[in-house]
């Protein structure tokens, strides 16, 4: 999923300071799972903002709403009835959600309340870790299901650098060396022969290299 973290409260306050009536919109998908921008976080942020402004002697009005999915026009349509009555929108969805609101409601200022981080998975309760960089041409089939693009600090595609120590990455003892993980798993799967196949230089056009990407499914597209 896409992970996110709430922005520092002061930054959010600065965005909305000039406005009176705010629509604060959460999203029920990824940002809910990583506890950054679901219904609960919308409620908390709303009270924090009210209090902060109250302290400064200013009262603001915040409408709260959480969409099923903020990156989907179908759900974003739900806001039609609320949008006209507010001065600005504050979104707790990922960057896709924020942009969907900005695209649909062209005349309304939309501000992000979270920093969108990465595509990750839940390692354990309260810990999310990066797993995929969306390179567009997945190598997991040859790297034993562990991504060297997203998980090796140097994006090495053909094996560990000279800094790999005790299964940890040279950048920090808190970071697993992706190649140590790959090697362990290749061993466990009896596939160590695969390590010696050279993975050729990547065609980054599959990733961000060719500019903004789009998937068009002719069979589904209207």
Partner 1 sequence: MKTESVLEKVLRSGNFAVTSECGPPRGAVPAKILEKAKMLGDYVDAVNVTDNQTAMVRMSSFGASLFLRQAGLHPILQMVTRDRNRLAMQADIIGAYSHGINTMLCLSGDHPKFGDHPMAAAVHDIDSIQFIQMVRKMRDEGKFQGGADIENPPKMFIGAAANPFADPFELRVARLAKKVAAGVDFIQTQCIFNLEKFELWMEGVRKRGLHEKCDILAGVTPIKTVGMARYMKNKVPGMDVPQHIVDRMAATPKEKQADEGIAICVEMIQRLRQIEGVAGIHLMAIEWEHKVPEIVQKAGLYPRPKIN
Binding interface with ligand SF4 (CB under 6 A): 132-135, 138-140, 147, 149-150, 152-154, 156, 160-161, 163-164, 169-170, 177-179
Query: Which residues, in sequence order, are CB contacts of 37 under 8 Å at separation 6+?
Result: 4, 6, 26, 27, 31, 91, 92, 93, 94, 113, 114
By a kind-dependent CB cut-off of 5 to 8 A, residue 90 interacts, out of ligand SF4, partner 1, none, with none
Least distance CB 35 / ligand SF4 (angstroms): 24
Among 123, 204, 208, 210, the residue binding partner 1 under the rule CB under 8 A is: 204
Residue 174 interacts with partner 1 (CB under 8 A): yes or no: no
Distance, CA of 208 to chain centre? 16
Least distance CB 160 / partner 1 (angstroms): 7
Closer to ligand SF4 by CB, 81 or 172: give it. 172
Residue 184 interacts with partner 1 (CB under 8 A): yes or no: yes
Residue 189 interacts with partner 1 (CB under 8 A): yes or no: no
Binding site for partner 1 (CB under 8 A): 153-167, 170-171, 177, 179-180, 183-184, 192, 195-196, 198-202, 204
């Amino acid at each position: 999923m896409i992970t996110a973290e709430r922005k520092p409260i002061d930054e959010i306050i600065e965005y909305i300071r000039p406005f009176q009536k705010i629509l604060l919109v959460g999203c029920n998908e990824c940002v809910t799972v990583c506890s950054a921008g679901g219904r609960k976080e919308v409620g908390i942020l709303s009270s924090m903002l009210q209090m902060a402004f109250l302290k400064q002697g200013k009262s603001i009005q915040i409408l709260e709403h959480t969409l099923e999915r903020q990156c989907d026009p179908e759900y974003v349509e739900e806001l039609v009835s609320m949008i006209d009555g507010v001065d600005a929108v504050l979104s707790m969805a990922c960057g896709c959600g924020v942009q969907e609101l900005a695209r649909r409601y062209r005349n309304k200022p939309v501000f992000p309340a979270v920093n969108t981080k990465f595509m990750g998975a839940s390692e354990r309760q309260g810990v999310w870790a990066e797993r995929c960089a969306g390179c567009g041409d997945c190598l997991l089939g040859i790297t034993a299901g562990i991504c060297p693009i997203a998980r090796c600090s140097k994006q090495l595609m053909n094996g560990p650098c000279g800094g790999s120590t005790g299964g940890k990455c040279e950048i920090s003892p808190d970071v697993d060396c992706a190649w140590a993980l790959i090697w362990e798993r290749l061993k466990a799967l009896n596939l160590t022969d695969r390590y010696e196949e050279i993975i050729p230089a990547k065609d980054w056009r599959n990733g961000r290299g060719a500019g903004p990407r789009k998937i068009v499914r002719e069979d589904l597209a209207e």
